[in-house]
Amino acid sequence: KAKKYLGQHFLTDENIAKNIVDALSFDHYQKILEVGPGMGVLTKYLLDKESEIFVAEIDHESVEYLQKHYAKLDNQHIIGDFLKLNIAETFESQVAIIGNFPYNISSQILFKIIDYYDYIPEMVGMFQKEVAERTAAVPRTKAYGILSVLVQALYDVDYLFTVHENVFNPPPKVKSGVIKLTRNPKDGLVGNEILFKKIVKAGFGQRRKKLSNSLKVLEIPEALQSHLFMDKRAEELTIQDFISLTQEWKNAL
């Protein structure tokens, strides 16, 4: 009955559901948005809290189920496709995000959170383990890449726990990982986000090459051509390195 094309794998372990919900710090935010509630295994614990709960669910059958079983969820609190949602207009204020996410759109969800970081102080969510690990990865590892740097520039990332395939119906092919993001824009980033993204993407676009090569597409400013970092590969730079490179780049323009 689960729809594969919607990434539907329903969590069957109540303790894990509780642990995911408990990882969110409720007192700070009024509004909470759950992405992909399905049949509400997380939702029912969320509705016990005092916060205002919204759900974004694309599947009509799941929506009908939620409406039938959770009276608290009226039409104003049920939203459709998360990827089409304008978070700024819909919430107009801070909203924390939670979910056992559909894995076919994991990176899109994370990139959307980054785009709206002004509105999103916190996220607790389950992804396929590999995506959770890439988000939390440190420099000089295979998992460290665009996702790690762009997310960690704006959020502190905690890898909370791993979840086994057999607690889902139907079981996914891979293990899952729950992570928590806590907003913490790193020094020097705000105002330089666009150039920062360009440098990070170009750098990891050819991750085996030195930055002197991979960043050529962006036309490296003269003053930076003999910079210490140009001899390194993207995966050797920390988040703060990428930020200071961005700042020096901007000053050199």
Contacting positions for ligand SAM (CB under 6 A)? 6-11, 35-38, 41-42, 56-59, 62, 81-83, 100, 102, 105
Per DSSP, which regions of the chain are E strands?
Answer: 10-11, 31-35, 52-56, 78-79, 95-100, 122-128, 155-163, 168-169, 176-183
When the beta carbons of 82 and 119 are compared against ligand SAM, the nearer one is 82
When the beta carbons of 8 and 135 are compared against ligand SAM, the nearer one is 8
- Two tokens, residue 142: 């295979």
Residue 187: strand, helix, or coil: coil
- Two tokens, residue 253: 């323009």
- Give the distance from CA 99 to its chain's centroid: 11
Least CB distance from residue 46 to ligand SAM, whole Å?
Answer: 10
When the beta carbons of 34 and 235 are compared against ligand SAM, the nearer one is 34
When the beta carbons of 82 and 204 are compared against ligand SAM, the nearer one is 82
Least CB distance from residue 119 to ligand SAM, whole Å?
Answer: 17
Q: Is 166 left (phi over 0), alpha (psi -120 to 50) or beta?
A: alpha
Residue 243: closest CA among 183, 153, 113 = 153
Least CB distance from residue 125 to ligand SAM, whole Å?
Answer: 10
Least CB distance from residue 142 to ligand SAM, whole Å?
Answer: 26
Distance of alpha carbon 79 from alpha carbon 252, whole angstroms = 45
When the beta carbons of 80 and 185 are compared against ligand SAM, the nearer one is 80
Least CB distance from residue 21 to ligand SAM, whole Å?
Answer: 11
Distance of alpha carbon 209 from alpha carbon 186, whole angstroms = 26
Burial-class residue 221 by CB neighbours within 10 Å (0-12, 13-18, 19+): middle
When the beta carbons of 58 and 150 are compared against ligand SAM, the nearer one is 58
Residue nearest to ligand SAM (CB): 36
Least CB distance from residue 43 to ligand SAM, whole Å?
Answer: 7
